[in-house]
Structure 1
């Protein structure tokens, strides 16, 4: 026997949509075979407390094979088992026959397809404070009604059930939630729950709690006096919160989950600019704010709701005033080395960079001024990777010239692989009490032997390892590194290393002597040179009676000897300098590469082709000789060099 779709819709309402998923899909397949569409099934499914949303219904609907074993008869058979009777059977005359045993049939459903929520609402009586659910939950009857009878949902009679209206922001009634005296909440079939119910009054600049059900809303309102918005299920809380945010930008929204749903609540709060409340630790799953109020009282619930949390955001936005209130950059060596980060002291072989690194380390550990710069005392760990005997002699020489070395200066002379041993070194540093100070790695080449310095990928691993060491040990990591013979190329290796540094010190050695200068500093000094010399110190004698010597760094007070570098009188350097002058005059770039803001600058690699023809040498050696000439000019102090840019000093 076949039935029209109206009969199938009627039969569907006699089956509980809150059944297990296998049965639910089976009913859906029968409904599909009976000619119903996905909207019919969605409306029926939405009345269940375990409704997962329209997408879940659509996915299940698409998975059903219309030629499968489940056909329309399955739907009607299951409906009959729950009391449904087809309309044609009800109207058919009973033939004269001997009386058969009768059985009591449940009342027919008064609801028919097409009946609106407004019609059901109009037939209901106003709720009173004596209603069982209101009494049990400590609620109030305002805005609610009680079903007069004749309505069946999922095979259950809704007579006496509390009716909660589901309304749009404009107040239009779109559906009803029915709360029987015994049994789960049921939603009106055929009427999606696309609305809310508000307990209390929404104030434009006030606070509102977003909750699943009316019991939680009553509790929040009773504890705080603030409005509470019923979303009718956790699956709608996100949508409702977004709608409230759009409609009421000034409203302070607080998402209130049941226990076990806090992570989801935090996500919703983060997406909507709201806050969220966590149920007390140890609460049983699905324990809600109404349960908390019943157990501990309204004051305890108010205290819990006052602990609403703002979700953690990855980015913090600051006002200009907040930005200006940030503490200034902390310096280790004022204007030269920051108190935290990754820095590098570099120069060519023989420039004295290791002697300078030891001198800086000793001054920092002692808190002594260094080359006229104020120093903040900090513990130092010096990793001497190029031979413990050499470092011992240099330390001995420093002690004989300067006095006892500070106790906060430590040395490590064991082999060390930066990419593998960073964490272990950090642990040793912290165990010694030297965390948050300075870690000097002399040299980077020894600490990262075997890597291709010119590979961006491999240099990236080195940079990551340096940052990991800095994060674990704290303070500043100071690398001692080489340049090539060609000073114009700066730090040896891939350019990403220089870009990753927080500070850099360049050490040079030329005809005018040795000097160091700040090659990179975020908020430090400019390119002022600090001349120094290495003075020999005798520290003892060997078995043959010969003197054992080393050197110490001494600031060179004869600054003019360095700064007043003699201009080349002839040769390639003079030719290159003469070729550079008109190029500098025509340049519109100033302050590049850390150069003085008043000096025109030239990008070295861009001007090399323009300079090479100034030299009368073999064509295949012009570029090489041009670079050598520029290196000489930099060493003399005639040219400044930084980050691939040159300028006249």
Structure 2
């Protein structure tokens, strides 16, 4: 019975000791306390065991439980004296029993050195995190093209062939560098002063030079006013490729003669600080990358954006559309890396010489509902131009509507198939689609029906009952006149 009571007493004493202390230490202390020994005797036993290199407890909490205030020492002599008495101590931020102060003093020196290095780090690399109060003091967005194109960041402009991608971007660059205050009807924040830019023309050569010549002649602006505009001419075999690491990290992915670093040195040597750099085209930035890979293409655009943010310029990359002309060719993740993304579409039939630019994304603003339309004009439309190149001029919504309407006109064969099939009695869209061999929802058939109704060759008969399909019939007046 007595043994049971002793065990219970030991367990009770053990439970009073913090759980952070090892179980065997709690057991040893509990036994001595259960035997009625006071804390100072338990401490004496602990110190004796420590001195014999057989410590009863090597965690500071053990001594604190027994009421021992662990001293802090700074010298080897102080540490050795306490260690010989089996008493623990603090040194250099560490708990010790061994009396070897030297290693702790070295550690303290290392801590001091680390603290110095840490202070130097924060002095050269201040904390970038902002409080709410500081964050809301962030300056307002600065615009190159008011409300559409930022002063720095990344813009991707994409469109199909014959939509005038290069001509439109060239017009932007030259207007900016000439200090004009308007571009295609949009406000340019030049303050009337010439600006500086670089045009990386991967496909350059004479094909681009004639358009530069045409722009200057049409505007009547001397080349000297655009002294801040420089070209990297791919027609001369000069390129700029991004160094995308795909293999060994110690092997450069491109020749240093074509690197971004070389271009930066050339810009500095030329004595300009470009606020706009155009990369025409995007795919020429990194030959060999997989355009359909989000990882590859996001990496390309991330690198361009980092350069633009670091050097405070707006990077404009010119890109193509894919089979679906409503989106940029390749990876879907590109839009997310852009501050601005704009889509070009040809207006009317291919080769109409007219196009429209839609703003798909403008960071910091709701998606703009407006667009800008322009016509590509050369000597044929501007007889006095005296240049082999072409320029872009803004056009109004009426011109756009006319071109779109012209493009809707069906070929004669399709026109007569529809006209004589529907007759006076009329026919449903499904029936017309079967006769013409077109899908009932195809744009070609929809445009043809809309065009023929507009020219009053057909009339649209709206259903009288809910759920019934509408029908198209030949306009009897028009039909009688032709007969």
Assess, with a 3 A threshold, how the Cα gap between structure 1 residues 474 and 430 changes in structure 2: closer, same or farther.
farther
What is the rounded CA distance, in whole Å, between the counterparts of 2:303 and 2:74 in structure 1? 64
- Higher RCO (CA 8 Å, separation ≥ 6 residues): 2
Q: Give 1:416's aligned residue.
A: 240
Residues 80-119 of structure 1 mapped to structure 2, 5 A cutoff: 116=39
CA 1:378–1:620: 2 relative to 1, 3 Å: farther
Higher helix fraction: Structure 1 or Structure 2?
2
Question: Residues 67-115 of structure 1, C-alpha deviation per residue, up to 9 Å, x if partnerless?
Answer: xxxxxxxxxxxxxxxxxxxxxxxxxxxxxxxxxxxxxxxxxxxxxxx88
Given the superposition, is the C-alpha separation of residues 559 and 404 from structure 1 closer, same or farther in structure 2, using an over 3 Å criterion?
farther
SS at match of 1:173: coil
- Superposition pairs of residues 400-415 of structure 1, within 5 angstroms: 400-402=217-219, 403-405=221-223, 406-413=226-233, 414-415=238-239
The alignment status of 1:261 with 2:111, answered yes or no, reads: yes
Residue pairs, 1:122-271, within 5 angstroms: 154=51, 173-177=67-71, 183-185=77-79, 186=82, 232-235=91-94, 258-262=108-112, 265=115
How well do the aligned residues superpose, as a CA RMSD in angstroms? 4.9
Match of 1:502 in 2: 339
State the match for 1:373 in structure 2.
Answer: 187
Task: Provide the rounded CA distance (Å) in 1 between the counterparts of 2:445 and 2:239.
Answer: 39
Assess, with a 3 A threshold, how the Cα gap between structure 1 residues 184 and 527 changes in structure 2: closer, same or farther: same
Q: Distance in 2 between matches of 1:179 and 1:408?
A: 68
TM-score normalised by structure 1 residue count: 0.44
CA 1:508/1:176 → structure 2, altered by over 3 Å: closer, same or farther?
closer
Deviation (angstroms), 1:520:
1.3
Give the structure 2 partner of residue 253 of structure 1. none
Instruction: Output the CA distance in 1 between the equivalents of 2:113 and 2:432.
Output: 71
Cα offsets for 1:402-461 (capped at 9, x unmatched):
212411111111233334423322332233233451110111133333332112233234
Query: Which whole-Å CA distance do the structure 2 matches of 1:475 and 1:554 have between them?
Result: 26
Aligned to 2:359: 518
Tell me the residue number matched to 1:351.
Answer: 163
SS at 1:533's partner residue?
strand
How many pairs does the alignment contain?
344
Question: Residue 268 of structure 2: SS of its match in structure 1?
Answer: helix
2:10 aligns to what? none
Contact 2:156 2:317 in 1 (8 A): yes
TM-aligned CA deviation for residue 619 of structure 1: 13
Contact 1:429-1:473 at 8 Å conserved across structures:
no
The 1:516/1:568 distance shift into structure 2, 3 A limit, reads closer
Q: Deviations over 1:365-389 (max 9, x none)?
A: 2332222313246411001111311
Out of 393, 403, 427, which is 2:265 matched to?
A: 427
Cα distance in 1 between the residues matched to 2:179 and 2:347: 31
Structure 1 residue matching 2:198: 3-state secondary structure: strand
Q: Does 1:326 align with 2:132?
A: no
User: Residue 399 of structure 2 aligns with which residue?
Assistant: 561
Which string of whole-angstrom CA distances, capped at 9 and with x for unpartnered residues, describes residues 291-346 of structure 1?
Answer: xxxxxxxxxxxxxxxxx979978762422x43321101121221121111111121
Secondary structure of 1:350 counterpart: coil
> After superposition, what is the alpha-carbon deviation per residue over 1:50-71, rounded to whole angstroms, capped at 9, x for unaligned?
xxxxxxxxxxxxxxxxxxxxxx
Equivalent residue for 1:316? Answer: 129
Cα distance in structure 2, aligned partners of 1:447 and 1:621: 41
Q: 1:629 to 1:337 in 2, by over 3 A?
A: farther
Q: CA deviation at 1:477?
A: 1.3
Aligned to 2:206: 389
Counterparts of 2:437 and 2:340, CA distance in 1: 37
Deviation, structure 1 residue 398: 0.9
The 5-angstrom pairing of residues 540-551 of structure 1 reads: 549-551=388-390
Provide the residue aligned with 1:579 in structure 2. Answer: none
| CA 1:387–1:265: 2 relative to 1, 3 Å | closer
d(CA) in 1 for partners of 2:287, 2:195: 29
Q: 1:386 to 1:117 in 2, by over 3 A?
A: farther
Which secondary structure state, in structure 2, belongs to the residue aligned with residue 394 of structure 1? helix
What corresponds to 1:98 in structure 2? none
Q: Which runs of 5+ in 1 are unaligned?
A: 1-36, 44-113, 122-149, 156-165, 194-212, 214-231, 237-256, 267-275, 282-307, 539-546, 573-611, 633-649
